[in-house]
Structure 1
Amino acid sequence: MDRALDPAPYDALLLLSFGGPEGPEDVLPFLENVTRGRGIPRERLEEVGAHYRLFGGVSPINEQNRTLLAALREDFARNGLDLPVYWGNRNWAPYVTDTLREMARDGRRRVLVLATSAYASYSGCRQYREDLAVALAALREEGLPLPRVDKLRHYYNHPGFLDTVAEGVLAALEELPAEVRDGAHLAFTTHSIPTAAADTSGPPAGHGPGGAYVAQHLEAARRVAAAVAGATGVERPWALVYQSRSGPPIPWLEPDIVDHLTALSERGAPAVVMVPVGFVSDHMEVLYDLDTEALAAAKDLGLPAARSATVGAHPRFVAAIRGLVAERAAAERGGDPPRPALGALGPSHDLCPVGCCPARAAKPAAAGADSPFH
């Protein structure tokens, strides 16, 4: 085997995602899983559930993960990377505890984890690490051997991720009328989170206004905008905006995408492409908040708009994941592999340090310097 594709010491990859309902009867139980312990009123869950029912009660995220799972397995096999790939979710079947139990019974002892979130934040990184800790604790209670789990580094600035996003923007520009295409603004969107969570995202040394969450998104947006300018010969105005706010009345990251569209219209922008750079796949926040709500708002404003694709299971993104696996495996064997990253921030850490994206309440988290399972 080519040593560059040797997965040792790892013997499995876990695709770890959010999960979503797969029918109308799943919607409220799923939303109860997502909001457990947060005191969200049932009427609010019913309101959000109505978004899912517009699409038959089915979130596309599970099907997108099945597609990504198949693409990873096929790519690994074609390129000689002998590593089985499993799939587990935070909030819906297959649940991560069930998947880790299956992995333990299959004899997997060193597991590498790919989370379907490219950026640092509590909900996008540490909460997944807490899920892994809960699952490992359950396995320990059951007397099963505990695999060691490590998480792949954040890939928001990996060329395979950013180049795929840029390709999607170029395709979306072609959907706009030719006469407004060159003047189109780019609105890079991501999930709004409380400003307090943003300020403490990433390692403690970088905590401050916006933290790593905002800095990483700005870096990704800047690189994609530059790539699009290079491909088209047109430098377009761009902004990082937010969507999908859902939570208590505290300060959240702004501006909201619909407010931003209104401001663009008032300033006379000829068109806009919405770029969901904060999302790996087309789950409900993309289908409803962008494709339904934001595009309807743009139509009402008379603002020509298009939405670019998420990276999904694009071959270039899948190849980037293969590269990240090979990179981490080589580093674990004591090597010094190349760590591709675009922009000024450089490659992210392999091991989340103590105090990175701190929890709302103290909870154990796996796959970090403070893991109780190493």
Structure 2
Amino acid sequence: MTLLPPVLRHRNFALFFSSLFISNTGIWMAQTAQGWLVYDLTGSATLVGVSFGAFGIPMLVLPYFGGLLADRVDRRRLMAMMQTGAAGIALIITALVASDNIAVWHLVTASFLQAVVNSFDQPARQALLPDLVPVEDLRPAIALNSVVFTGPAFIGPGIVGLMIGTLGWPLATAFLVDALSFFVVVAGLLLMRLSPFLPAAAGRDSFFAGLYFAAGHAVILPTLLLAAVTSLLGRSYQSLLPVIAEDVLDVGIQGLGLMASAAGLGTIAGALVVSSGRRLPRDGALALLSAVGLGLLQIGVAYSTNYAISLLLLFLLGLLITFMTTGIRAILQLLTPREMMGRVMSLNTMAVIGLGSTGGFILGPLAEATDVSLALAVTAAAMLLGVAALALSRRVLRAA
């Protein structure tokens, strides 16, 4: 008897999942170190938000071009090229931090460039997923795939807190691990055994075909709107965790690492629940109910002054984010034709990653103009209003 989810018995998916999990552990290490470094250099919540928000700017536009490319060229090769480019950017930042020549503008520029790379990597990655498992295993595969990024938040930030805060290792170590981890994904992609790639047929490979399809679909359009609202207003709280750790809870970089890890542990727990085959609501209802819980928990995080309670709330946030993400992606990937998968999933990438990162431009200045607790509570309340409007006006989404 094995404790591993059954979907990992598929060799290609196991390679995909494990390599990305390792790589994203490195990414979370670098993100945690970046947030701490920017706040240490400037003491500005706004600049912390800007350093993360810079990642969101290209992700608002470029992923659709990445999706168009993912529907026309071999998705595995496209991913391998983008992973190599991301490693190069991370190595440059490692050298700047190690030589003590780092400046905030370096980190902002690197975030922007990594987003350009990610704009072409993410659509290919999401479009590749249905080719790795049979359709009956798609929902658990989506759940585990959501853990590929958020799950390493349980490991990466904790490692940073241990290495830098406890053992006193150089901060550049986090960025070096991030750079090397991208090559693990390249190796995993090369080891996969996939059928020859078939590009989209003529007439369905045009630039606007994916947009027309998504905009005209009764379920896909409100699903994308739900992803957009919850990402902009309900997932950008992560950009203010360094401020909460330092100014509200006074727990330092070690405490910051555990806070991010608590959310990551929640995502892992959520994925295990979904992939175990337990009976859950339909995808649309699961996404909507989880979004409501996400807003309420964010308000709790905003006003918690107890470190243990904050860790519990962040764990539950991670749990519900996995449920919500699984519901949204399952709807999109089950209802989208394979030859348009890159473009439709790129719209989800723009909503989740682009708006999620861009939310830092809202939260950072709002927190500095008022305070961090009020900023989080206001954005959570606005998200709840948006979710309620979608749930009431789009009944088809609840039944999806």
TM-score, normalization: structure 2? 0.27
More strand by share: 1
TM-score, normalization: structure 1? 0.28
